[in-house]
Amino acid sequence: MQQLLQSHFGFSEFRPGQEQVVRAILDGHSAAAIFPTGSGKSLCYQLPALCLPHLTIVVSPLLALIQDQISFLNSKGIAAASIDSTQSREETNEVMAGVRAGVIKILMISVERLNNERFRQFIAGVPISLLVVDEAHCISEWGHNFRPDYLKLPSYQQALNIPQTLLLTATATSKVIEDMGSKFGIKPEHITLTGFYRPNLHLGVKGLSSTDKLDYLSTWLQTRQLSSGIIYVTLQQTAEKVAEQLKARGISAKAYHAGMTSEVRHAIQHQFMSGEQGIIVATIAFGMGIDKSDIRFVVHYDLPKSIENYAQEIGRAGRDGGDSECLVLANGDNLSTLENFVYGDTPEPSGIGIVLNEIKKAAFEHRSSQLPQWELVLNSLSNQSNIRPLSLKTLLVYLELLNVIKPTYSYFAEYKFKFLLPEAEVIEYFTAERRDFIRAIFTTADRAKIWSSVNFDSLNQTYASDRQRVLKAINYLDEKGMIELQSKQMTQVYQIVNSEFELKELTAKLSKRFLNKEASEVARINHLVELFTSPNCLSRQLAHYFSDDQMTQDCGVCTACRGERAILPPPPYLTPLEEHDFNQVCADVVAKLGTACTPVLVARFLCGLTTPLFTKLKLRSAKGYAQFERYRFSDVKLWVTQGLK
């Protein structure tokens, strides 16, 4: 271990917690590492990957993180690669060949890649030693960034016969740690927490009205503008506006957000990493995967989305151990916006009822089968039920947990191909029965001018063939450059375990679960405000929140410890809702919604929250859309309910 640490990574000793985790993995155990941002979690899989006999597969939520890690590993002489949507067909095939040959030791993918039928077929034939789950808090619905696809990882681990798992995260509460560990069967003694507190980060909160923030920030930056720093904002237009206003005051700042082209973003990121550009005004699109050691300050111009987000974002400062400042300019102006995003994700009972009815319908249609199946295309069901895709994924996970449905597999409904070599030449490449099989695939395909679609039913009638064999054949032709293959329209197939549920009862139960999740998310925002306005040590409160009991004394340097408790100024005056004419504001949307009209939908419309139905009816351009986006959703809903009576 020490030799590899020195020879490959150039370190003479491990950082706190690393050796314990690496040893657990090399001793054959599954493990979890809960380390603060920037404290070396990645080494916990990078070093074992060199010793383990087979592939290490790393699931990571962000492409930027994946690309950053691969560049680092390749610079250290470690064969690592990714399979992702930005690659050409040739690049993907080259990576797959390297993985099959055992040349590539580490393969990095997004969790969604495992939904891909073609990828699963490929990876099932590869021996894997270790599954690494980065940002592992995403697996818990009690975490701040719950992603339903992560819940499938334990079943993928079993299906692919992966003997060990390593979970990595910086932001997990006690409840989340317990949830993560239980899902992968990780023993408590193999869960390593190094403590959250970093004494070189000096935390500060200043309560300011929105009109005073820029003046305060400009003055604060005067003595710091030669240092590297990130200023976080919520909205893309705020990033542009603040950067321009700082430049007008002689402070060199550049905006960065997801609305820019990838070329512009990469250029700005490169300028920041090289030290050519010191200050970046950015949305949270900037930061994941940024491993710059000398960031001297992180400012939150707007309130962060949660304590977890705040912890991740300030964790990018001071990775070299040098003193760094983390300042929040706190006002309550965007609190309603943060809360309202939560309300936009909660499905209505009617939408849940539509999904449950679809399950009952599928069970009835397949009533003669011992194992009735339900097939769905997520976007189609989202539009049908008016439930946002991510919330619909969560609903499906809840139904799995209640043993109503069980995921079996997913497949692409359509496989299209075009010939890169003459058809006759492709057929003649094969001999005997294989030639007949390939010819049958082509002759039964639905032809168009350039592209043809594989017709599995027609093929089966002409030449009885297993779907997996067909997929293997067309993937082979694609890899060999004989055809170009495209797949689309992901269809998910579930086994219906129980269709005898009482519709009203289950709808109410699921609605309650979503409302509990909604309340939990809103409470998370309130908890953030309580932390920032508390008279108690900010660092100690954060450490306690993240299960760190090692910090027993106040830090002495944060604004609370210095007696500078933040007081939020009152939010700007909003005309009371009662003073607005309901019919004047809502007549257009009520008419366009027609029989679908509910208080929740009208309130979402007024607060600027999108739903699949709004997209279908083009309601974003209707009169009144987002008119009340600065009001609290709960207040708007009450006003709408009274107006509709």
SS (H, E, C) 214-235: HHHHHHHHHCCCCCEEEEECCC
Q: What are the tokens at 363?
A: 């069970």
The whole-angstrom separation of Cα 244 and Cα 246 is 5
pLDDT score, position 23: 95
Confidence label for 287 from pLDDT (cuts 50, 70 and 90): low
- Indicate if the pLDDT at residue 48 is higher than 70: yes
Confidence label for 288 from pLDDT (cuts 50, 70 and 90): low
Q: What mean pLDDT is reported for the chain? A: 89
DSSP track, 294-341: TEEEEEESS--SSHHHHHHHHTTS-TTS--EEEEEEE-STTHHHHHHH
The whole-angstrom separation of Cα 307 and Cα 304 is 7
pLDDT score, position 570: 84
Distance (Å) of CA 550 to CA 271, 543, 553: 38, 8, 9
- Indicate if the pLDDT at residue 79 is higher than 70: yes
The whole-angstrom separation of Cα 121 and Cα 468 is 8
Long-range CB contact pairs, 500-505, < 8 A, 24+: 501/356, 501/404, 503/353, 503/356, 503/357, 503/360
Note the CATH number of domain 411-494: 3.30.70
Residue 466: Cβ-neighbour burial (10 angstroms; 0-12, 13-18, 19+): exposed
* pLDDT (tens digit per residue) in 221-248: 999 988 999 999 988 899 999 999 999 9
The domain segmentation of the chain, as residue ranges, is: 2-193, 201-339+520-545, 411-494, 577-644
- Indicate if the pLDDT at residue 182 is higher than 70: yes
The whole-angstrom separation of Cα 164 and Cα 157 is 8
Q: Under 8 Å CB-to-CB from 441, ≥6 apart: which residues? A: 454, 459, 470, 473, 474
- Indicate if the pLDDT at residue 113 is higher than 60: yes
Distance (Å) of CA 328 to CA 216, 501, 520, 525, 540: 12, 49, 23, 15, 17
Give residue 5's identity as a one-letter amino acid code: L
Distance (Å) of CA 614 to CA 240, 383, 516, 546: 28, 10, 25, 39
Confidence label for 421 from pLDDT (cuts 50, 70 and 90): very high
pLDDT score, position 84: 83
Mean pLDDT of 357-377: 90
2-193 is classed in which CATH architecture? 3-Layer(aba) Sandwich (3.40)
Confidence label for 310 from pLDDT (cuts 50, 70 and 90): very high
Mean pLDDT of 410-439: 89
Instruction: Using a pLDDT cut of 70, give the percent of the chain over it.
Output: 98
Give the CA angle between residues 302, 531, 343 to the nearest 5°: 60
Contact criterion met (CB below 8 Å) for 473 and 438 = yes
pLDDT score, position 285: 65
- Indicate if the pLDDT at residue 339 is higher than 70: yes
Q: Distance between alpha carbon 625 and the CA centroid of its chain, in Å?
A: 28
pLDDT score, position 324: 96
pLDDT score, position 10: 83
* pLDDT (tens digit per residue) in 578-624: 999 999 999 999 999 999 999 999 999 999 998 999 989 999 888 99
Distance (Å) of CA 505 to CA 197, 359, 384, 460: 46, 15, 21, 43
Instruction: Using a pLDDT cut of 90, give the percent of the chain over it.
Output: 53
Give residue 171's identity as a one-letter amino acid code: T
Mean pLDDT of 516-533: 89
Q: Which residues pair with 128 in a beta bridge?
A: 55
The whole-angstrom separation of Cα 588 and Cα 399 is 37
Mean pLDDT of 276-302: 85
Bridge-based pairing of strands 228-232 and 253-256 is: unpaired
Largest CA distance in the chain: 85
DSSP track, 62-93: -HHHHHHHHHHHHHTT--EEE--TTS-HHHHH
DSSP track, 525-546: HHHHHHHHH-SS-HHHHHHHHT
The whole-angstrom separation of Cα 79 and Cα 107 is 9
- Residue 150 DSSP symbol: G
pLDDT score, position 448: 87
pLDDT score, position 289: 54
pLDDT score, position 86: 76
Name the residue among 135, 117, 125 with its Cα closest to residue 66: 135
Assess whether the region 201-339+520-545 and the region 411-494 belong to the same CATH fold.
Answer: no
Confidence label for 461 from pLDDT (cuts 50, 70 and 90): confident
State which H helix or E strand residue 19 sits in: helix 18-26
The whole-angstrom separation of Cα 597 and Cα 594 is 6
Bridge-based pairing of strands 373-376 and 483-496 is: antiparallel
Only one residue has tokens 């609305």, namely 259
Task: Indicate if the alpha-carbon torsion angle 125, 131, 135, 141 is positive or negative.
Answer: positive
pLDDT score, position 292: 84
- Indicate if the pLDDT at residue 362 is higher than 90: yes
Task: Indicate if the alpha-carbon torsion angle 457, 461, 467, 472 is positive or negative.
Answer: negative
pLDDT score, position 54: 95
Contact criterion met (CB below 8 Å) for 65 and 312 = no
- Indicate if the pLDDT at residue 153 is higher than 70: yes
Mean pLDDT of 447-459: 89
* pLDDT (tens digit per residue) in 341-353: 888 889 999 999 9
- Residue 579 DSSP symbol: G
Q: What are the tokens at 435?
A: 């030639």
Note the CATH number of domain 201-339+520-545: 3.40.50.300
Contact criterion met (CB below 8 Å) for 79 and 98 = yes
Q: What are the tokens at 551?
A: 């910090």
Only one residue has tokens 């450059």, namely 481
